[in-house]
Amino acid sequence: ATLFYILVYTNWLKRATPQNIVIGGAAGAIPPLVGWAGITGGLDLTALLLFTIIFFWTPPHFWALALMIQDDYQEAGIPMLPVVVGEERTVQNIFIYSLALVALTLLFSASDAVGLIYLFSAAALGAIFIALAWKLKLDYTIRRAKYLYLYSLLYLALLFSVMLADAVYRF
């Protein structure tokens, strides 16, 4: 994951394509696979779902940040999505990835890895995420981008905390 991040993302993708975050998101999604394999001795559907959640969380999270500091990216010559395609298309992409993210987190509940605590919590957390992305799409402002960015941090932390709570208190 570290080599992919340094060699592929930082040295190549970051300055080569506005899809840098999508492709580079794999680097951030690999640690759960490593951790899962280290604890269980292998990989299974649950590990793949954890990877997928982080992979689909990465674009709306970083594109919201990129909207906030797009002038810096422009000045540095880094082709982040808002710099290349503009704010309107960026918020459309944020909304699409947010829908995919929430759908995947809910799909996770179909596995035997999580139970009802996770399902209801993921639905509530996801509804807020989608609502913030929808508001950003309807009426783009830096302030709304900041709300989505900050919530995305909380969302991932709470979602993973709920997974832990669900494993301990499953019913």
Lowest-confidence region among 18-22, 24-28, 68-72, 152-156? 18-22
Contact (CB, 8 A) for 130 and 99: yes
Residue with tokens 């709300």: 147
Written as six digits, the tokens of 66 are 């990129």
Contact (CB, 8 A) for 85 and 74: no
Residue 51 DSSP one-character state: H
Query: Quick one: which of 171, 155, 94, 150 has its CA closest to 121?
Result: 155
The DSSP H or E segment spanning 115 is none
Over residues 46-67, the pLDDT tens digits come to: 899 999 999 999 999 999 999 9
- 25 pLDDT band (50/70/90 cuts)? confident
Over residues 31-47, the pLDDT tens digits come to: 889 999 999 999 998 89
Whole-number pLDDT of residue 30? 85
Over residues 122-164, the pLDDT tens digits come to: 999 999 999 999 999 999 999 999 999 999 999 999 999 999 9
Count of the separate structural domains present in the chain:
1
Whole-number pLDDT of residue 16? 59
List the domain range (segments joined by +) for residue 54: 2-168
pLDDT of 7 > 70? The answer is: no
